[in-house]
Amino acid sequence: MGQRRFGTAEILLLLSILILVVVVAIPILLIFWNAFVVEGKPDFLRALALLKEPDTFEALKNSLVIAGGTTVLSTIIGVFFAWLVSRTDLPYKATMKVLFLVPFMLPSFIGALAWKILLSPRGGHINRLLMDLFHLEDPVFNIMSLGGIIAVETMYLFPFVFIQVSGALERMDPTLEEAARISGAGLFTITRRITLPLMMPSILAGALLVALYSLAHFGVPAILGTERNIFIIPTKIYEKIYASGGNFEAIRTGTMLSSILVLAAAAILYIQSLVLSSGRFQVISGKSMRPMVLKLRGLKWPLLILSVLYIAITVVLPTATIFLVGTLKTYGLAFRLENMTLDNFTYILFKWELTRDAIWNSFYLSLSAAAVTMLIGTLISYVLVKTKIRGKFLLEFLGVLPFSVPGTVIALGVILMWSGRFGINLYNTAWIIFVAYIARYMAFALKSTSAALEQVHDSLEEAARACGATKWQAMRDVVLPLIKPGMVAAFFLIFLPALRELTTSVLLYGPHTRTIGVAIYTLNEDGETVYAAALAAIALVIIMAGQLLIKRVTRAKIESA
Amino acid sequence: MATVTLSHVTKRFGGVTAVRDLDLEIQDGECFSMLGPSGCGKTTTLRMLAGFEDLDEGEIRVGDRVFSNSSKRYYLPPEKRDFGMVFQAFAVWPHLDIFDNVAFPLQIKGLSRAEIQTRTRRALEDTGLLKVQHAYPGELSGGEKQRIALARAIAINPQVMLLDEPLSNLDPKLREEMRFEIKDLQRRLGFTIVFVTHDQAEAMAISDRMMVMRDGVLQQVGSPIEIYERPSSRFVFSFIGLSNFLPVETREGATFVQGAPEAGPLAVVRPKGLPDAAWTLACRPTHIDLQAEGGLRGTVARRVYLGDLVEYRIRVGPHELRIQKGARHEVFQEGAPVGLTFRHYLGYPEG
């Protein structure tokens, strides 16, 4: 108590600032420094000249096309299905709603792997089947193209829009639409003039998240594009860093491209905050009422079939493919029982050091990163939400950074920071992945713990203090138990994505620090398709088990990060 | 003519009957309130009127036109009914400014630009919103939002105005003010009002006639005075104001309180038509007089000073009665014996 100038709150603030500076701010600064400072002097012209080189320019262009295409397509599909499950009398709505979220759980690079197996121009199973059936000379589909990458990204990213829009449609006060109806407007007019405009912020929020992810994702374009010389920013950075053996110009190009990614992400987040903060879209009602439902009549069953088919094609087909290919004795054999074996799985799980290590690495890295990040996140959120001290704005600024840093950029940043420049060399150790994970997933932890803390009204803590509890007792006995669900949610929000992480670890792995994602990716690169699929199948089993575990452990609603 | 007629209207949600066999006639130009505790079916009735809910049985007519008919499965959609409606949570559209909110129904009707202008302006003028017509709802207070909703509802000059607890989201002072404004608009524009509320004082203040519902069943229809003075059942009596219920028994002309014969006989006459000797005496707190001597004997259990009123809790045997007296009334101390006489009372069958 009292007016001490330097109390616990100040120590916590400094600690929080310090952590964010070391983990996030300095790596980003180093990227900008490397990109724009040559021999101690700022040099933007040479930096810009690098971008004009054909291959980097091409990567930028592809990024734009893929992010744009994926965003538009995901928005259309997401809005349509969200509307279908929340505003129509589609049969089995509740089940369909859960099913539309399943693509979220599938790592998109595993999906890409499956689609490559099914639809690559010459070897793809579906292409071969169609060519045999109709005696065609040329393959029907080519998934290894810009269009193919957009299609696969959309399959696994559209739930961002779906969640936002279906949530908003459900929370929206139904009398807003009823008022339009009683004013004489028909359903079509209401949708166009009332519902859609009111949904715009949610649609935009979802669309911007899709844009952010499709810009920063490594997996899908790496698996479907690299072989065909289709690069986007993250895969170009990877290529520069690896192909060039780490020469200075290559790293500079990498940092330049990273800077663009950071700026693009920051711009996207800025637009999002502008959209969400304009108060013209407060549509949430206090009462829960049944919203207006459109009777689909004759279209009821066709639309259900369409939805089920969509899930079957985007989720069941690729998953089944991964499991089936994982059992083949050799890739290329027909899917017949005599060609199948479970030995691949035992080999991967117990005998092969590379995959065994990968599974173990992913496990302990995600577990420890999730635990540590969750705790740090709670600390920072506590300072942000619950204290009123000077200098907090600094933390508020730093706290926004983790949200705008794509995985590739973090990887490059930690390479620059922890490769001996400051006396510590973590390169090729698991530690460098660990630090990168903390930076990468800090945003998740901040989001869910600060949401939990905001739910705990100050008066609850004050009531404990009034009952004679010290600050620490109040914290331990009142605040912590109340935010525990938020902390558990944060833990799982980090643990599960980290388990299947590829974008960051692919730039950081050493000979003995492959993660599951990296192992699948490199096995596929080396042509070990069967083992790549088998390991992916194991990853899918782990992810599904983890999702079930989350459901049992937290009943708290987990919003998408 | 906009006489609203409901015949044998029934609505079920799953196994629950929300409205049961409701017959009702709301007169042209009348202000009619539907009153009842939450879940009594009053809002469902209004929503059936508006066309948002189908009927399981029965028919709704406006004038001589059928709006809903369950056996013919005919339902005029809400957008074709030409009603005005004001919702509890205002339901003003946050993405449109005040002018566009109010002009919306006129635009939907496809009126000319000039006519939309004049009629919107008139509605805004009638509700005192002309000054803020280019503001957005987010910038306005609850009372102003409710005015927007009102303006939007009157813009099309509806014959019937449906109001779904329009005042319950406002603070008490504003509520009273809006009540007058709604009445005033009705007088000037002449529409029929169907008003849903759970607040009996509000219903009495605004209505020409009102009805009380409970568990989907109509309890009583009548003018506010009829309903207040002659509630048809114990439920209506208790719902419509503060109430005391005292179980009594009349034998050979003398009435005693059940369980407290020592308190003496009551100077009341058992109303005709009650089935048993035992009955329930119902009385408002302001309709009981206190005196030092005589009357029904009781003890002052508690006395609370309420400013212009003093409220007593009087114990009579195992029962407790609530009595309100003007502040300048003779004061009885807590613990003191008092006598009660009942100025106005009603009798209901026991239970």
- The interface predicted TM-score (ipTM) is 0.82
Residue B290 CA to chain centroid, in angstroms?
31
Region A397-406: what's the mean pLDDT?
A: 82
Mean pLDDT of chain A: 86
How far, in Å, CA of A289 to CA of A469, rounded?
Answer: 42
pLDDT digits (tens, 9 = 90+) for B64-85: 999 999 999 999 999 999 999 9
Name the residue among B93, B56, B88, B90 with its Cα closest to residue B75.
Answer: B56
Residues of chain B positioned with their CB less than 8 A from the CB of A197: 95
Residue A554, pLDDT score: 62
Model pTM score: 0.82
pLDDT digits (tens, 9 = 90+) for A132-169: 888 777 777 888 889 999 999 999 999 999 998 998 88
Sheet containing strand B265-266, edge to edge, reads: B265-266, B254-257, B244-251, B278-283, B346-349
Whether B162 sits inside 8 A of A175 (CB atoms) is: no
How far, in Å, CA of B144 to CA of B150, rounded?
Answer: 10
pLDDT digits (tens, 9 = 90+) for B304-334: 988 888 999 999 999 999 999 887 777 888 9
DSSP state string for A5-21: SS-HHHHHHHHHHHHHI
Other C-beta atoms within 10 Å of A123: how many? Answer: 15
Q: What's the pLDDT band for A291 if we cut at 50, 70, 90?
A: low
Q: Is the pLDDT of residue B1 over 70?
A: no
Name the residue among B238, B199, B230, B223 with its Cα closest to residue B35.
Answer: B199
Length of chain B: 351
Residue A440 C-beta-side C-alpha neighbours within 13 Å: 33
What 3-state DSSP class applies to B55? Answer: coil
Q: Does B166 touch chain A (CB under 8 A)?
A: no
Region B136-147: what's the mean pLDDT?
A: 88
Q: Does A173 touch chain B (CB under 8 A)?
A: yes
Top residue of A183, A193, A284 to mutate, by most chain B CBs within 10 Å, is: A183
Work out the minimum CA distance from A286 to partner chain B, whole angstroms.
8
Please work out, in degrees rounded to the nearest 5, the angle formed at the alpha carbon of residue B81 by the alpha carbons of B78 and B87: 55
Strand partners, B210: B33, B222
Whether B82 sits inside 8 A of A184 (CB atoms) is: yes
Residue A289, pLDDT score: 57
Residues of chain B positioned with their CB less than 8 A from the CB of A184: 79-80, 82, 105, 108-109, 156
Nearest-Cα residue of chain A relative to residue B96: A280
Candidate from B84, B138, B152 with C-beta closest to A282: B138
Helices and strands (DSSP H and E) totals, chain A: 28, 2
How far, in Å, CA of A330 to CA of B205, rounded?
Answer: 86
Residue B192, pLDDT score: 94
Q: Does B50 touch chain A (CB under 8 A)?
A: yes
Whether B91 sits inside 8 A of A194 (CB atoms) is: no
Q: Does B67 touch chain A (CB under 8 A)?
A: no
User: Of the segments A81-90, A182-191, B214-223, which one has the largest average pLDDT value?
Assistant: B214-223
Contact A475, A383 (CB under 8 A): no
Work out the minimum CA distance from A84 to partner chain B, whole angstroms.
20
Nearest-Cα residue of chain A relative to residue B81: A182
Whether A281 sits inside 8 A of B95 (CB atoms) is: yes
Q: Does A185 touch chain B (CB under 8 A)?
A: yes
Please work out, in degrees rounded to the nearest 5, the angle formed at the alpha carbon of residue B235 by the alpha carbons of B231 and B238: 80
At B291, give phi and psi (nearest 5°). -150, 155
Q: Does A180 touch chain B (CB under 8 A)?
A: yes
Contact A236, A257 (CB under 8 A): yes
Region B222-228: what's the mean pLDDT?
A: 94
Residues of chain B positioned with their CB less than 8 A from the CB of A182: 50, 78-79, 81, 83-85, 162
Q: Does B156 touch chain A (CB under 8 A)?
A: yes
Candidate from B83, B89, B94 with C-beta closest to A182: B83
Sheet containing strand B209-214, edge to edge, reads: B84-86, B160-164, B192-197, B31-35, B209-214, B217-222
Structural tokens at position B4: 């609203």
Contact A439, A413 (CB under 8 A): yes
Work out the minimum CA distance from B138 to partner chain A, whole angstroms.
6
Candidate from A182, A282, A285 with C-beta closest to B50: A182
Residues of chain A positioned with their CB less than 8 A from the CB of B91: 173, 175-176, 178-179
Q: Is the pLDDT of residue A182 over 60?
A: yes
Please work out, in degrees rounded to the nearest 5, the angle formed at the alpha carbon of residue A304 by the alpha carbons of A301 and A309: 125
Other C-beta atoms within 10 Å of A471: how many? Answer: 15
**Four-residue CA torsion sign, A443, A448, A454, A460:** negative
User: Of the segments A72-81, A215-224, A457-466, B122-131, which one has the largest average pLDDT value?
Assistant: A72-81
Nearest-Cα residue of chain A relative to residue B105: A183
DSSP 8-class letter at A192:
I
Helical (H) or strand (E) element with B85:
strand B84-86
Q: Is the pLDDT of residue A465 over 90?
A: no
Structural tokens at position A490: 């944060």
How far, in Å, CA of A56 to CA of A261, rounded?
Answer: 13
Top residue of B44, B87, B134 to mutate, by most chain A CBs within 10 Å, is: B87
Angle of helix A146-171 relative to helix A196-216, nearest 10 degrees, comes to 140
Residue A284, pLDDT score: 53
Residue A395, pLDDT score: 84
Residues of chain B positioned with their CB less than 8 A from the CB of A287: 88-89
Q: Is the pLDDT of residue A358 over 80?
A: yes
What 3-state DSSP class applies to B217? Answer: strand
Q: Can you list the positions of beta strands (E) in A197-341?
A: none
Please identify which residue in the block is written with the tokens 């050493």.
A510
Name the residue among B280, B181, B197 with its Cα closest to residue B238.
Answer: B280
Whether A198 sits inside 8 A of B95 (CB atoms) is: yes
Q: Is the pLDDT of residue B343 over 50?
A: yes
Please work out, in degrees rounded to the nearest 5, the angle formed at the alpha carbon of residue A306 by the alpha carbons of A303 and A309: 150
Region B344-348: what's the mean pLDDT?
A: 93
Residue A149, pLDDT score: 94
Mean pLDDT of chain B: 91
Nearest-Cα residue of chain B relative to residue A282: B94
